[in-house]
Amino acid sequence: MSNEFSEKTAEVSNFVKCKDCGANLKYLPGTPYLNCDYCGAKNEIEVAATEIIENDFDSFLDEKAHQEDKQEISTVKCDGCGASTTLKPNITSCTCPYCDTPLVIKNASTSTIIKPSYVLPFKIDRKKSTEEFVKWAGSLWFAPNKLKDYAAHSADKLNGIYMPYWTYDSNTITQYTGLQGIHYYVTESYTDSEGRSQTRQVQRTRWLPASGTVYNNFDDVLVVSSKSLPENLANELEPWDLNELKTYDDKFLSGFVTESYQIDLKFGFEKAKNRMQPVIKSSVISDIGGDVQQVTSMDSTYNDIKFKHVLLPVWLSSYRYKDKVYRFLINARTGEVQGERPYSAAKIALLVISILAVIGAGIYFYMKYKS
């Protein structure tokens, strides 16, 4: 699978034509319809029952996938923020969906990627997402007033983007070594501040060697496969209602931007392992038992690995403050908001001055009272 991995990619908006008037249709979040802004017609999306099929990870890598599981894309890198945008055929001009910088189309390159298998359609529309964004911005301490103003007028600045994810399943077997700590108490004599002899109970810990094996089953460990956005923010958008996944259909993408992955399948699983580690360690600690534990080694094997390639919906906005771009993400299923945020130096300075003034006033009245 040497050619199916793309660099940073984000497709420009997809569109489906209205069956009544031929105008571009947009998917209507939270419904099974495509909406026509021109004639008002609602074109229903015929959704078949979705059967989730997990792909065998090792077999897929060994067989290097079938050509029909792939698609070819053209990408161009943004000089402003470094993200790369996937271009539809015959596109002659475009702007970056992450920072609104005009893209230089002549620098486009071509690559082949694995097609997504499932999509979680947009549920929350732009209006509701804007309300959640405003609420979130208003709760930030020391945020510049310009940020709150931006949020209040951001409806037309929110971009609906389908973000690429890998999901992984695995049964793990972990052999470990460590130490089990058992608390016990001893009586200790001491002299108190008044010179009297006293006794007290002092906790000590007896350490015993421990080793064993733990078993963990993981289902749908999510790995965001985009580098265009901070991974920690994307992870904070969880949980996702993956039980509502639909079989991939271009109609759900109509009117939205769709990003393609830049973290490949194999490296994505390494990231999945990192997400599994805290759960495995927790199982090891529980297995060691005792009052306290130390884990000295863990050796995990990953069996029956499955994966699928899915698209999840995000409303995204970016804000430039003092020559730095800050990005904000909204889970378009739940309304959860996560984002980078600037701080207002003026507001922080004003707070410090106010605190110093209060302290100074307190010292002044204290000294005056003492005298």
Structure tokens at 280: 């495995």
Query: DSSP strand E in 288-363: where?
Result: 292-321, 324-331, 337-339
| pLDDT of 310 above 80 | yes
Q: What is the pLDDT of residue 9?
A: 39
SS3 at position 206: strand
DSSP code per residue over 35-90: EETTT--EEEP--PPP---PEEHHHHHHHT--GGGEEEEEEEE-TTT--EEEE-TT
DSSP code per residue over 267-308: HHHHHHHHHHHHHHHHHHHHHH-SSEEEEEEEEEEEEEEEEE
Q: How confident is the model at residue 272 (pLDDT cuts 50, 70, 90)?
A: very high
pLDDT in tens, 171-219: 999 999 999 999 999 999 999 888 899 999 999 999 999 999 999 999 9
pLDDT in tens, 65-87: 555 455 555 666 666 666 666 65
Average of per-residue pLDDT across 254-282: 92
Orientation angle between helical segments 126-138 and 145-152, nearest 10 degrees: 160
Q: How confident is the model at residue 12 (pLDDT cuts 50, 70, 90)?
A: very low
Q: What is the pLDDT of residue 7?
A: 35
Q: Which residues contact 90 (CB under 8 A, 6 or more apart)?
A: none
| From 94-98, 124-128, 278-282, 285-289, the region with the lowest mean pLDDT | 94-98
pTM of the model: 0.76
Report the range out of 238-242, 338-342, 356-360, 362-366 with the highest average pLDDT.
Answer: 238-242
